Amino acid sequence: MSLRVLVVEDDREIRAAVQATLAVEGFEVQTAVSLSEASALLRHDLPDVLVLDLGLPDGDGVDLVREVRQQHALPILIVSARHQEAQKIALLDAGADDYLVKPFSVAELLARIRVALRHRGTTLAPAVTVHSLEDLHIDLQTRAVQAKGAAVHLTPTEFNLLARLVRSAGRVVTHRQLLRDVWGPEYIEHTHYLRLYMGQLRAKIEQDPAEPRHLLTETGVGYRLATLMPS
Ligand code: CA
């Protein structure tokens, strides 16, 4: 049985390109051109993945994300224009899985859909506890971290921050989510903690902390633990 994707996009060309590519990859694709149409479709027939454009004619995607997330675990990917940063963060905090900034390649969309499906698909399976990419090896169960060819000693907070990123490897995690999950809900505004600890982690893990290849910055949004090396 093929996986079903609902693509909500009012731009006809983008919609057609995404639909064609996903269909070639074996997905069954449904489309909607507005939030109200998407909402109606979602009520009677739930897809496996939702791809949601931010710039839609009839309003704010945040409400739709909240509504879907209250009842369902399906992956939600946001597609946005560059100037929609603040809205993008609100959507991620409301439960969207990841986002892509236009113009994006359909190959990138496919890669993000696969990552999101892998994370969501394993909700009943054991959580991700091991991460390995090039010179970085992390085992959350034994708390062992290796980088640059040697064992790395991390403080408890550094480890918790890294562990949070491992559990969402390949996906962006917002500043707010990191602060809430590592420090606690009363710390969600303390972004300077995050900058400080991310700097420490990078110094221990990255070959060149100024040009990180593992702990990636998503400007204005959050951080992402890389699962692929940039080509
Ligand atoms: Ca649009």
CA 183 – ligand 1 centroid, Å: 36
Which 3 state secondary structure label does DSSP give 127? coil
Expressed in angstroms and rounded, the spacing between residue 144 Cα and the centre of ligand 1 is 45
* Residue 230 pLDDT: 63
Check if the beta carbon of residue 124 is closer than 8 Å to that of residue 79. Answer: no
Q: How far apart are the CA of 228 and the centre of ligand 1, in A? A: 29
Q: What separation in Å is there between the alpha carbon of 8 and the centre of ligand 1?
A: 9
Buried residues in 37-55 as b, exposed as e (16+ CB within 10 A): bbbebbeeeebbbbbbbbe
Instruction: Report the chain (231 residues): mean pLDDT per 10 consecutive residues.
Output: 89 90 89 94 89 88 87 89 80 90 87 83 60 94 94 95 92 92 91 96 97 94 87 57
Q: Where are the beta strands (DSSP E) in the chain?
A: 4-8, 28-32, 49-53, 76-80, 98-101, 130-133, 136-139, 144-147, 150-151, 172-174, 215-218, 222-225
Rounded distance, CA 131 to CA 139, Å? 7
For residue 1, the model assigns a pLDDT of: 65
Query: What's the gap in Å between 33 CA and the centre of ligand 1?
Result: 9
The pLDDT of residue 123: 46
Q: How far is the CA of 31 from the centre of ligand 1 (A)?
A: 13
Using alpha carbons, select from 81, 38, 76, 85 the residue that is nearest to residue 58.
Answer: 38
Find out whether the peptide bond into 103 is cis, omega within 30 degrees of 0. yes
Determine if the pTM surpasses 0.75: no
- CA–centroid distance, 68 to ligand 1, in Å, is 20
Evaluate whether 222 touches 177 at the Cβ level (below 8 Å): yes
pLDDT of the residue at 106: 83
Q: What pLDDT does residue 147 have?
A: 97
Q: Report the separation in Å between the CA atom of 10 and the middle of ligand 1, taken as the mean of its atom positions.
A: 5
Domain pair 4-119 / 130-225, same fold: no
Any idea where the domains of the chain sit in the sequence? 4-119, 130-225
Distance CA 131, CA 35 (A): 37
CA–centroid distance, residue 14 to ligand 1 (Å): 9
Distance, CA 102 to ligand 1 centroid (Å)? 10
Using one digit for the tens of pLDDT, what is the confidence trace for 153-170? 999 999 999 999 998 888
Ligand 1 centroid – CA 53 distance (Å): 6
Q: How far apart (Å, rounded) are the C-alpha atoms in residues 148 and 206?
A: 7
Instruction: State which residues have CB under 5 angstroms from ligand 1, the bound ion.
Output: 10-11, 53, 55
Contact 61, 54 (CB under 8 A): yes
Under CATH, which architecture does the 130-225 domain have?
Orthogonal Bundle (1.10)
Domain spanning 4-119: which superfamily?
Response regulator (3.40.50.2300)
